[in-house]
Structure formats: C-alpha cells, structure tokens
Amino acid sequence: MYDLFWHGVLWLAHILFVVCFIPQVFTNFNRRSTDGLSPVTIFIYFCGYLIETLYVHFLQMPLAYRVMIPFGGMVAGTMVMQRFWYLKEEQLRYRLLLSYAATIAVAFMLTVVGMNYPAFVGHICGWVGMLLWTVYQLPQTIKVFREKSVDGFNFGFVLLAGTGSLLEFIASLVRGLPLQTVLNGVRGTAYMGVFLYQFYLYGKKQ
C-alpha cells in the first residue's frame, strides 16, 4: 500500500508536467505569439523531453515515467509548432527547422545504439537530460530579468510544473530512483521559487 501511494504521487507529478503546458499554450494562442517565452527555453524543453523519453525507456523506469514523459513531449511539441507558426522571419524559421531536425536525428541514432546497449545509453541520456533540465529555465529567467516583465509568461505554467517537480523530488527520494531524477526534482522546485519571485516583482507592473 505504501509503495502504491508513492507510485500514485509519481503519476500525479507527471500528469502535472503534461497539463502545465496547457495554460501557456492558450496564452500563446490568445496573443498569437510565443514572445513571452525564451526561444532557447522552448528548444531545450523539446530536447529534454526527447532525451528523457530514451532515458526512462532504456532504464525501465516506473510506468508513470514511460507513459507520461512521451505525452509531455508531445504537448511541449505544441509550443514548438506555435513558435514556427507565429514566427514571421522565413530565414529564422528555416534555421529553427534545421536545429530541430538535427536534434531528432541525434535521438534516432541514440535509439539505434540503445537497442544493443540499453543500460549504457539509458544512463548517458539520464545525465544529458539532467543537464538540459538544469539549464532550460535559465534563459527564461534571464529574459524576464532583462525585460522586467512576465508579459506572455503564464503563471499557471510555472505553478503546475513546479508543483510536479516538488512531488517528483519527494517520491523519487522515497522510492530510491536514480540520482538524475532526484536532482531534476530539486532543480524544478528551485526554479519554481525563482519564477514565483519574478512574478511577485514584475507581475504587479503589468
């Protein structure tokens, strides 16, 4: 029963990681723009989910991870599509297309290697994913700080993603999951605190 409870907490955390995108997607749609988000954050978000999918698959992580992380990647992909759709500069759109295509090609090669060496590729992807998750929110933090504005950056996105990170951190400690997952939870919770402070500072100026 105890183990079942914490497995349920992991499911809840990853459901939050999926639904957290929805408020931001609607904000982008209403504004017809993704300018509220750092384009680097969107790109690293996509890369992180791609590499994390390989990590949880090859290391046979709990079912919550193997089901919800690919779903999170698909929803995150919606923001990528919005980025392309609302971008007006054709040359920049072409460069973005090349960047995402190269990322998918690398993920495909890792998948092929992982079929023969699942543990090796799984752990490599886990550490790469942790590195990506560590830095992906930094460009957004810098963007908000420089512009002194959270305009176009959805508060619900921050709150839901941060709550998911906190739950994942606690559950991963209790269940003894790999260190990469524990550190990801610490990172997400810390960034939630930073973003909440930025909303406190700059949100009242909107």
pLDDT, tens only, 80-110: 999 888 888 877 888 888 999 999 999 999 9
Cβ(16)–Cβ(163) under 8 Å?
yes
Q: Which residue has the higher pLDDT, 2 or 43?
A: 43
Q: What is the DSSP letter of 87?
A: -
Cβ(16)–Cβ(168) under 8 Å?
no
Instruction: Give the pLDDT confidence of 181-195 residue by residue, as tens digits.
Output: 788 788 888 888 999
Among 37, 16, 202, CA closest to 136? 37
Among 74, 71, 90, 79, CA closest to 28? 79
Residue 30 half-sphere exposure toward CB, CA atoms < 13 A = 11
DSSP labels, 170-195: HHHHHHT--HHHHHHHHHHHHHHHHH
This prediction has a pTM of 0.82
Q: Which residue has the higher pLDDT, 1 or 6?
A: 6
When mean pLDDT is compared across 3-7, 44-48, 119-123, 131-135, the lowest value belongs to: 3-7
Q: How many CB atoms lie within 10 A of CB 92?
A: 12
State the Cα–Cα distance between residues 125 and 120, nearest whole angstrom.
Answer: 9
The alpha helices in the chain, defined as continuous H runs, are 2-19, 21-31, 39-58, 63-86, 90-114, 118-135, 138-147, 155-175, 179-202
Cβ(156)–Cβ(96) under 8 Å?
no
Angle between helices 2-19 and 21-31 (to 10 degrees): 10
Among 172, 175, 176, CA closest to 187? 172
CB environment 138-159: b (16+ within 10 A), e (fewer): ebbeebbeeeebbebbbeebbb
